[in-house]
Structure 1
């Protein structure tokens, strides 16, 4: 295998070729500026600058020019000195940017050091590739970690949302982290909510979301994707088709956001259902209380009328006893029967009023407990304990 080498400022290429050996293919140029316009410059592995003049500053200028040119700055530059140079001169070459400074005496050493310069360059390229790959993986890891943080914060915040509007707006805030926009549809048991980040809705997109809600988890068309989960659907308008990794990450992460939103919608539906149930209990209790009051009033009127009727009967019998030809004992027995009937009637009447009063009081207590926005567990348990278990 031959390595292509650019040689700057050499007047005896045949001698240099013999010294460097057949593993190198040489191309001679007079100055560094001539290299800037060469075709296929990326195929060269090494640049050699010949330091043959009494004044080394010319060769140093060539090195600086090569190292400052962006197209070839990464190529190793080796200076070949035709005579021995002192330490200060070699330091000056190093400061100019050369990778090695070699005095042309031993061909074998020259070849070894030139190959070492090439291998160092190859190793640096491999290291750079590894670093680039590591940086890419680190960026992906940091991006994934950032996405995870966004999702966790969303799941924490969504549980504080008290209605569908708040929940939808919280989702749009999370979507900003993924640099995407779209329309959201929430299908609650109490109605359908369509919205965008501005709180409004677009009729066409709302219709598309409704029609695609049962078409699977993902419905892709162009740069747009509809994502469905349970009671929520999201239409994303600007999916990054040119970045497969970001495209997949958005689908995975946004889908988990929709899962969290769906769970919150279910919880809000349950809260609303409990509110309706409480309202129903309160209204039924109030209605039953009024009914019991009407029953109690009617019952009281009936019992009064019954008592009056019994007393009228007793008065009538008492008045007629004297004409029935009974002795005193018989009259006394009948009198006792009538008095007992009046007492029994009053007792039944009073017990009925007591029972009605107890039920009315219980219904009043039920109404009071469920009238509160937050039903207390201990009060609810106390109401349950007051109802006897039927055997």
Structure 2
């Protein structure tokens, strides 16, 4: 089952072993995109080897090669990785982490809403366009600074410098600057009552990265999945993508540093939120002139 429309449109590949699901995707997408439907991971890989593709909609549970395995092959074989959106009936955080670790950029739970699917496709294509031409080193590992005697200095400097941060942006930029000292490939999310902001060291955060950071909010314990560490407080989530899994000692030291950074940043963010709330309450208080006007009007 294959369908093509005008070549000027973005090319989307739908991968699913159930023809009815492919037909649904085709009907939803063909008005906006060029759509190619395949029924196995192998067909998908063969297609990508011959034709340029802008985005892949990937079923997870398929015979012979599941969606995660197919996505790993795409990531390994194609330096300019097209966004991969997983479509799955699994809803656990661990399932989303598996998809992300395989190279996925987003994750939708079946049955998915048509408008949500169209929105997710557009967002992922926009992020792809923003990152066009950028080369990312997916094989780099986090490490300690050259001088091991001073490996805690950046953390200590952060704990002092963050006291001067008075906004989410200032705190996020300082935190990312500190993470960069350790060669962390990281994403950061800061939440307040009315706003959630996402930040990244290397590129725009993928939609699935944002979803994972939102999903882990408030978890007391870090979630570890291979090279990934996902940890959070009530107001900040942090995703580290390149932990040194082959060096247990270094891994442990870096994990402790991440926890310390997160704790210090969260304490400062709590103070920033409190200052903002106090300022808002103060600004809502009536001025002396308004009191006087109200008093005169009563008479």
TM-score, normalized by length of structure 1? 0.37
More contact order relative to length (CA 8 Å, sep ≥ 6):
2
Q: Whose helix fraction is larger, Structure 1's or Structure 2's? A: 1
Structure number, greater radius of gyration: 1
TM-score, normalized by length of structure 2? 0.48
